[in-house]
Structure 1
C-alpha cells in the first residue's frame, strides 16, 4: 500500500512538473508574440 501511494505521488509530481513546463513554454510564446506585435508598428 505504501508503494502504491508512493507511485501515485511520483506520477502527480511528474504531471505537475509537465504542467509547469507547458505553462512556462506557453508563457514564452505569448510574450514573444506580444513583443513582435509591439515591435512591428515601431518598425513600420
Structure 2
C-alpha cells in the first residue's frame, strides 16, 4: 500500500542520513572546518 511504501522510504532515508552523520568528519583538519558543519547538519536532521 501507499502508506507502507512511504514508511519504508522514510526508513531508508533516515538510515541514509544517520550513515552520513556517522561518516561526517567531526574534527577539523587543514582543509575543512568540520565541527560547525557537522553540528549544523546533525541539528537540521534532528538526529
Would you say same fold, with TM above 0.5? yes
Which of structures 1 and 2 has the bigger CA Rg? 1
TM-score (norm 2): 0.53
TM-score by length of 1: 0.56
**1:13 corresponds to which residue?**
10
Q: Structure 1: give runs of 5+ residues left out of the alignment.
A: 39-44
Give ranges in structure 2 of 5+ residues lacking alignment.
31-47
RMSD: 1.7
* Aligned residue-pair number: 30
Instruction: Show structure 1 runs of 4+ deviating over 6 A.
Output: none
Name the structure where helix makes up a greater proportion of residues: 1
